[in-house]
Structure 1
Amino acid sequence: MQFRRSTIASLLVASIASNASPAVNAFAMSGLGWGPSPKHMASTTSRKATIDDTAECVKNVDLLSLDSIRSTLIRQEETIIFAAIERSQYRRNHIVYTSGGFGDLGVPLGAKAALQDGEEPLSFLEYICIGTEVLHCGVRRYTSPQEYPFFPKFLPDGPLPGLPELEYPVDLLSPIGDACHSNFNEILLDKYLKWVVPSISASGDDEQHGSTVLADIALLQALSKRAHFGKFVAESKYRSDPEEYQRLVDAGDADGVMELLTNAVVEARVLRRARIKASTYGREPLMTQLPIEKADQISDSANFVAAAAASAVASAFQMIDQSDDFQGKVDPAIVQDIYEKFVIPLTKDVEVDYLFRRCGRDPPSEYAPDRMSKDTLPDLREDFCITLPPV
């Protein structure tokens, strides 16, 4: 128990300290978002100082470095976990996923395509998601190489009039075989509805239908961004050993490609970190454990980080001691399971698909964007919310 506690303590302190650091994720600040370019952006700390526009810009090689990728993936973990916590507060609300559950809604204003004769009416989730994507398309979200829509056929041809085109680093992802454009959101949405939603939400209907689909969309977008970031991971791995990846692809050895790109040690670390973060973010902070008694005594960021770390560690200790009596907002074991059985396998499928296309060949059929190569996820839509045993 002492070993587990010390391990969790170090992980939590490191995680919180890194999040409070004034250094900003190089990838997120590189212009790959759908907002202003890096010279117009700054961290909270750097806003106080004059921005040096003459500083050397971030290079592609920096964006694809292991440090940059690791930083991006860690931040995406937090986005996903918070979004899962937000969705878990609502009931399953099956009606929002049912075609025509609220009648024939048509298509949202601004959608490019209309429903064809014979097509079923949109579900409430589909309707709101399409409307959201139409709006986001207008402000250039889907010109970013790490953003992919769930309903591309409904999107307008370009951004709102007057918005300039964004310039992204060239040769970041390979255009060979359309590798940079393959979209895995179809299978992601399918598994989300069949497995993720029943896993994190209780059965029943609480009539919070609008809030439910907005929480769904936030979580879906975060999961999509995480899965498709596998292309950047794959490009980085390809550049580290292009000859070996080319040899395996030429031989049609998808299993060999999967084995070469897999790092079991890193995956185990991701699973452990996701579970710890879920147990920390999903609980109220233990205020009695804070080393600072009064809020006005938190005079600088160092003290604030220390206080937050102490509270998080104390909360994690309580989670360990009461592992059989979970009382948080979302079960950490379920978050870990989502990563282990869904997020990581789907991301690796994206990587294999990208690497085959990158090397000039179509991927095997089991790695097509409309399926998972190793689909072990049951359809839980008719079951009660699952409860996973503690690991």
Structure 2
Amino acid sequence: MGRERAEALSPYQSKPMVSRPLFYTFSFLSFSCLCSCKQLQEMASQFNLESVREFLTREEDSIVFSLIERAKYPSNLPAYDPSYSTGGALRNYSLLDLFARETEAVQARAGRYRNPEEIPFFPKVLVLPLVPAVHSQVLHPASASVNASNAIWKMYFNRLPQFTAKGDDGRYALTAAADLVCLQALSRRINYGRFVAEAKFRDAPKDYTSAIRAEVDLSDSPFFSFPSYFLMFLQDRDALMRLLTSAAQEETVKSRVKKKAKVFGQDVTVNNISKNESSRPKYKVDPDVVVHLYGDWVIPLTKLVEVEYLLHRLD
């Protein structure tokens, strides 16, 4: 979508915060982030596979609701036009790019990215937070930076036509805001694969250590050519993928997500009288689209994050 990682600082970084409403907003967000960090500190001692599954289940609600909110607006393609910004360091940025950059900068000031569960899409424009880091270290330091942010951004826009109607109602700012909520919910869920991998590793350290240390000999591969004295080995990603995959669990997740999309996406009326006269209910977002989003993208990307995390777990 014409998006590039920014080298320049946000134009708002050097401006003093003199607005009273803005001050109150920062104060509220800072307090919220401090509370969140305190919760993270308490959760660290209770970190296990069960707590990880509970988190992922709650994130399903956030994702489904955010998709429903975005579906309120048509495609509104001008919001993604890279020619929206044509001047200075912000050249070739769409409205969504600019909105996401500036929103993440404000949220970073309030401490959002002190939370290891949150990963920004534009890390180079973040400002220093106003709150200290008060959370315990759960992730292995060598693997903690693993993320799929670029893939999530591209995936979202590839899927956007499936849950939005064609059209243009001119409400581009609201559209960009709804997009960012969706993107952040998807990012939180997919990049939480780092925590999933850590929990699985702690639950079965011997099994995962063996899989991490397993190697694939590429010396006989028809795609590579090496001198006879040189052997090429790579870590066996497939072995890790097989170990962490549970087909039954994935089907359970997809079934639950489909049901949530049906329940959350219904039009609620008095006395259960539907405005839709057809026998087939009409949903704000097609439940099958949500299932395919999970089955084709969310779950596979989460597992790729898990594998990448585990490959560096012993570093």
2:240 match: 257
Residue 59 of structure 1: CA displacement? 5.4
Return the alpha-carbon distance in structure 2 between the equivalents of residues 270 and 199 of structure 1. 20
Q: 1:104 to 1:353 in 2, by over 3 A?
A: same
Return the alpha-carbon distance in structure 2 between the equivalents of residues 224 and 261 of structure 1. 20
Determine helix, strand or coil for the equivalent of 1:243: helix
1:62 match: 46
CA offsets 1:26-63 (integer angstroms, 9 cap, x no match): xxxxxxx8332677x8xxxxxxxxxxxxxxx8353412
Residue 326 of structure 1: CA displacement? 4.5
Mapping of 1:1-391 within 5 angstroms?
34-36=33-35, 58=42, 60-63=44-47, 65-100=48-83, 102-104=84-86, 114-115=89-90, 120-156=91-127, 158-160=128-130, 163=131, 165-170=132-137, 172-176=138-142, 179-194=143-158, 196-251=159-214, 252-285=235-268, 287-288=270-271, 322=279, 325-360=280-315
CA offsets 1:91-130 (integer angstroms, 9 cap, x no match): 1111111211x24265xxxxxxx45xxxx52111000000
Return the alpha-carbon distance in structure 1 between the equivalents of residues 42 and 107 of structure 2. 26
Aligned AA (1:60): A
Task: Work out whether residues 105 and 127 of structure 1, in 8 Å CA contact, stay in contact via their aligned partners in 2.
Answer: no
Aligned AA (1:139): A
Return the alpha-carbon distance in structure 2 between the equivalents of residues 242 and 68 of structure 1. 18
Task: Work out whether residues 33 and 111 of structure 2, in 8 Å CA contact, stay in contact via their aligned partners in 1.
Answer: yes
TM-align CA RMSD: 2.3
Residue 207 of structure 1: CA displacement? 1.0
Task: Work out whether residues 75 and 167 of structure 2, in 8 Å CA contact, stay in contact via their aligned partners in 1.
Answer: yes
Q: Percent identity?
A: 36
Return the alpha-carbon distance in structure 2 between the equivalents of residues 149 and 37 of structure 1. 17
Gaps of 5+ in 2: 1-31, 215-234
With normalisation by structure 1, the TM-score equals 0.63
With normalisation by structure 2, the TM-score equals 0.77
Task: Work out whether residues 105 and 122 of structure 1, in 8 Å CA contact, stay in contact via their aligned partners in 2.
Answer: no
Return the alpha-carbon distance in structure 2 between the equivalents of residues 341 and 154 of structure 1. 31
Displaced runs of 4+ in structure 1, greater than 3 A? none
Task: Work out whether residues 91 and 203 of structure 1, in 8 Å CA contact, stay in contact via their aligned partners in 2.
Answer: yes
Return the alpha-carbon distance in structure 1 between the equivalents of residues 121 and 103 of structure 2. 10
Determine helix, strand or coil for the equivalent of 2:296: helix
Task: Work out whether residues 83 and 218 of structure 1, in 8 Å CA contact, stay in contact via their aligned partners in 2.
Answer: yes
Number of positions where the alignment pairs a residue of Structure 1 with one of Structure 2: 261
CA offsets 1:277-307 (integer angstroms, 9 cap, x no match): 0011101235426xxxxxxxxxxxxxxxxxx
Return the alpha-carbon distance in structure 1 between the equivalents of residues 94 and 257 of structure 2. 31
Task: Work out whether residues 261 and 285 of structure 2, in 8 Å CA contact, stay in contact via their aligned partners in 1.
Answer: yes
Gaps of 5+ in 1: 1-32, 42-56, 107-113, 290-313, 361-391
Aligned AA (1:135): V
